[in-house]
Amino acid sequence: MKILVPVKRVIDPYVNIRVKSDQTGVETENVKMSMNPFCEIAVEEAIRLKEAGKAEEIIAVSIGNQSCQETIRTALAMGADRGIHVLTEEKVEPISIAKILAKICESESPGLVISGKQAIDGDNNQTGQMLAALTDMPQGTFASKVEIDGDKVKVTREIDGGLQTVNLNMPAIITTDLRLNEPRYASLPNIMKAKKKPIDQKSPDDYGVDVTPRVSILKVIEPPKRQAGIKVENVGDLVEKLKNEAGVI
């Protein structure tokens, strides 16, 4: 079985986000970029399934500009076998990404697609579900546990208020939540080995997908700043203020 893992290049989660003064977006020039943390969890899960003998090959896909190759290399260094880079300078929306991935699913026929539940830049949380719709596959979103049993996959999902378990026919789409696993660091020998692994370069045109955005960003601003309040001396003070000043208890 093949596993397809889409990976996204985003601003590193530990970098402070700065909104551009012309309100067109956030500053990405000279900012450290990394693989989206939820995508790292997806790559890790695919590798664990391969190590458990449930999968033979892991294909990492990234869609975006030339530097997305680095993100694919990171996945290859972690343990993915080969990469597909769909080169475009356009800011591709989830619906178009899902369409490209659906085409790749047609040619590669993976048994599972494992993606992150959301990217920490746009916070859309859409691509996996959209891909599932376009390929008519079932979806196990926000997964905290994945168990393959024959031609089915049992997925434990993080839902509001607890956990839900579903059984999906394969091929299926899984999107990862935080608790699924803890991604490994790539070792130096594996980073070296990854340089020799193949990355196939494609364009959206190769898949016949029009990536023109349908949603335009009119304005991006900083959130209103909250003012720091006062320090209280002790618990008695705090309770008094909450009762009489704020009136919330």
Partner 1 sequence: MTSLFYIEHANGKVSDQSLKAITAASQIEGDVHGLIVGSNIDEAVAEASKINGLSKLLHLDDAAFDNVLAEKLTQVIFNIAGDYDYFLAAATTTGKNVMPRLAAKLDVSQISEIVAVESADTFIRTIYAGNAIATVQTSDAKKVLTVRPTAFKAATTDSAECEVAKINAENIPSISEFVGEELTKSDRPELTSAKTIISGGRGMQNGENFELLDKVAEKLGAAVGASRAAVDAGFVPNDYQVGQTGKVVAPELYIAVGISGAIQHLAGMKDSKIIVAINKDEEAPIFDVADYGLVADLFQVLPELEQAL
- Restricting to residues 115-144, which ones interact with partner 1 according to CB under 8 A? 118, 120-134, 136-139, 141-142, 144
Alpha-carbon span 200 to 202, nearest angstrom: 7
Q: Which is nearer to partner 1, 71 or 118 (CB)?
A: 118
How far apart are CB 76 and partner 1 at their closest, in Å? 26
Q: Which of residues 181-220 bind partner 1 (CB under 8 A)?
A: 213-220
Q: Which residues contact 243 (CB under 8 A, 6 or more apart)?
A: 249
How far apart are CB 41 and partner 1 at their closest, in Å? 11
Q: Which is nearer to partner 1, 62 or 141 (CB)?
A: 141
Q: Which is nearer to partner 1, 51 or 213 (CB)?
A: 213
Does residue number 231 form part of the binding site for partner 1 (CB under 8 A)? yes
Q: Which is nearer to partner 1, 188 or 235 (CB)?
A: 235
Q: How remote is the C-alpha of 219 from its chain's centroid? A: 24
* Nearest of 129, 119, 123, 117 to residue 180 by alpha carbon: 117
Q: Give the DSSP H/E element, type plus range, for residue 3.
A: strand 2-6
Q: Which is nearer to partner 1, 200 or 222 (CB)?
A: 222
Contact, 98 vs 124, CB < 8 A? no
Interface pick for partner 1 out of 56, 106, 200, 222 (rule CB under 8 A): 222
How far apart are CB 61 and partner 1 at their closest, in Å? 17
Provide Rg for the chain, Cα atoms: 21
Alpha-carbon span 38 to 55, nearest angstrom: 20
Q: Which of residues 2-61 bind partner 1 (CB under 8 A)?
A: 11, 13, 16-17, 19, 26
Q: Which of residues 66-85 bind partner 1 (CB under 8 A)?
A: none
Q: Which is nearer to partner 1, 188 or 228 (CB)?
A: 228
Contact, 39 vs 51, CB < 8 A? no
How far apart are CB 147 and partner 1 at their closest, in Å? 11
Alpha-carbon span 82 to 203, nearest angstrom: 17
Interface pick for partner 1 out of 85, 158, 204, 209 (rule CB under 8 A): 158
* Nearest of 53, 44, 116 to residue 79 by alpha carbon: 44
3-state helix/strand/coil string of 116-172: ECCCCCCCCCCHHHHHHHHHCCCEEEEEEEEEEECCEEEEEEEECCEEEEEEEECCE
Q: Which is nearer to partner 1, 17 or 192 (CB)?
A: 17
How far apart are CB 116 and partner 1 at their closest, in Å? 10
How far apart are CB 91 and partner 1 at their closest, in Å? 12
